[in-house]
Chains A and B, each alone.
Chain A
Amino acid sequence: MSFTTPYFSLPKFTYYKPDNLTDALTLLKQHSGKARVLAGGIMLVNMMKERMVFPEYVIDIKGIDELKNIEITQRGVEIGSAVTATELQKSDIIREKCPSLAKAASYMGDKILQNSVTIGGNISIGMPSTDGLPALMSMDALLEVKNIERTRIMPSSDLVVGIGKTSLGTDEMITKIIVPYRDGLNGTYAKFLNASEVAIATAAVSYTVSKGKLRVVVGAISAKPYYFDESLLGWKWDGTIDENVRSVVEVIGSSIKPMSDAVASSEYRKEVSKILVSRALRELFGGE
């Protein structure tokens, strides 16, 4: 067995570890199109091993402190893109203000990988199996995307444009995730895996009692997660849980068109999605 063969080795690249954001963005601009950002490395390292990507430069952003903060500002809860899944689960701010994200983080790989997986990396590869994106979309989260010249804010629902494709420019990176502050925000996340732990479907639900918002996001069944709000779902705040769940499941069943692949068929994914959504709703609102 030779360790220069694919799968056991990585292609050649030059490694940089900038200690501030300006340097990182400058490098990304300078090597635009030839550089990839490395955070946890779970996706990037595996993609390089399988020779799916051949970056000439790898820019490690783990040395940049401002990307590792979780803080509350007037914009809402701001999460640095290099915050790990373990840190998300441990953080009191995330557990209280973004419960669906805290739950989703507990599904990002196993307990050891969670020490490496970052929220930015989890969403920015653009794979359907992301756990972070459905949770963020259910909270109408915004993404702060930077290149060296400008900063733009975009809705998390605009990030993914296809399987493995995002709307990020080659010189851009996600620096922060902003979850707008909402009084009484609650939520949860459900996931169904096959025997080799590949996601068949995921469901993220977030709601606020005071402003009467309900969001249901179904992920892992298509390139982009499906997003529903309370008016689409026919949700009645004064209705019983059974009648609401029935209406939601019906709407979801008739609106989603899941993909078929080696993991699961479209029909199976649809049934699993409906069950996951009703489980998540019952977890939050009671009922059996």
Chain B
Amino acid sequence: MIKLRTITMMVNGLSREVNVDDNELLLNVLRDKLGVTSVKAACWRGECGLCTVLLNGVPVKSCMTLAVEADGKEVVTAEGLYSDERARKLQESFVEHGAMQCGFCTPAFVVTSHYVLSKNPEIEGEELKKELSGVICRCGTYYQIYDAVKDARKYYKQ
């Protein structure tokens, strides 16, 4: 018999209770049990960063995080950024700059750059590139992503 444990997470502003096994990854629970599909599954080994979520406000890769580790914590994904005016403008900036081709990495880039800009809205150059280096874009739209994020700094300065 599989012994499940009930965990409670604040997912995108809603308190969600879910039964999980100890060995389940946060990524699987978010996608398959809670229907949060902006969190993408790609490399499964912490390299590509497409499964990045904010766990208690800090970006982590959800394929490297156990679901039980998130018990009692707050999880924010691209869907949850809708309530933040600045993050909406950031997403518009991605569209204006064409900062995507297939779009598979976009949610992770939006979540990561939202965190980076809320921490330091003055960031630019090599430092900004380094901060975004945890997420990989296979279409290679890095220049556009960089421009989009740099342009969106103004919304975070207010």
Q: Which residues of A contact B (CB under 8 A)?
A: 3, 7-15, 17, 38, 41-42, 45-46, 48-49, 58, 60, 62, 109-113, 115-116
From known contacts A42-B64, A113-B61, infer whether A49 and B44 are also in contact, taking CB-CB under 8 Å: yes
Cβ of B98 under 8 Å from chain A: no
**In the complex, which residues 9-52 of chain B have their Cβ closer than 8 Å to any Cβ of chain A?**
21-25, 28, 32, 44-46, 49, 52
B46 touches A42 (CB 8 A): yes
A-B contact pairs, 27 of them (CB 8 A): A3-B32, A8-B44, A9-B23, A10-B24, A10-B25, A10-B66, A11-B23, A13-B23, A15-B5, A17-B68, A38-B66, A41-B65, A41-B69, A45-B25, A45-B66, A46-B45, A46-B46, A49-B45, A60-B66, A60-B69, A110-B49, A111-B132, A111-B134, A112-B49, A112-B59, A112-B112, A113-B64
Cβ of B58 under 8 Å from chain A: yes
**In the complex, which residues 123-144 of chain B have their Cβ closer than 8 Å to any Cβ of chain A?**
130-135
**In the complex, which residues 54-86 of chain B have their Cβ closer than 8 Å to any Cβ of chain A?**
58-61, 64-66, 68-69
**Which residues of the partner chain B approach A11 to less than 8 Å between Cβ atoms?**
23
A12 touches B49 (CB 8 A): no
A113 touches B68 (CB 8 A): no
**Which residues of the partner chain B approach A9 to less than 8 Å between Cβ atoms?**
23, 25, 28
**Which residues of the partner chain B approach A38 to less than 8 Å between Cβ atoms?**
66
What CA separation (Å) do A17 and B44 show in the bound complex? 24
What CA separation (Å) do A60 and B28 show in the bound complex? 20
B134 touches A62 (CB 8 A): no
**Which residues of the partner chain A approach B22 to less than 8 Å between Cβ atoms?**
12-15, 58
**Which residues of the partner chain B approach A8 to less than 8 Å between Cβ atoms?**
44
- Interface core residue of B5, B46, B130 (most chain A CB under 10 Å): B46
B23 touches A46 (CB 8 A): no
**Which residues of the partner chain A approach B134 to less than 8 Å between Cβ atoms?**
110-113
B44 touches A111 (CB 8 A): no
**Which residues of the partner chain B approach A109 to less than 8 Å between Cβ atoms?**
46
**Which residues of the partner chain A approach B132 to less than 8 Å between Cβ atoms?**
111
What CA separation (Å) do A17 and B52 show in the bound complex? 23
Q: When the two chains form the complex, which single residue of B58, B66, B135 contacts A15, counting CB atoms closer than 8 Å? A: B66
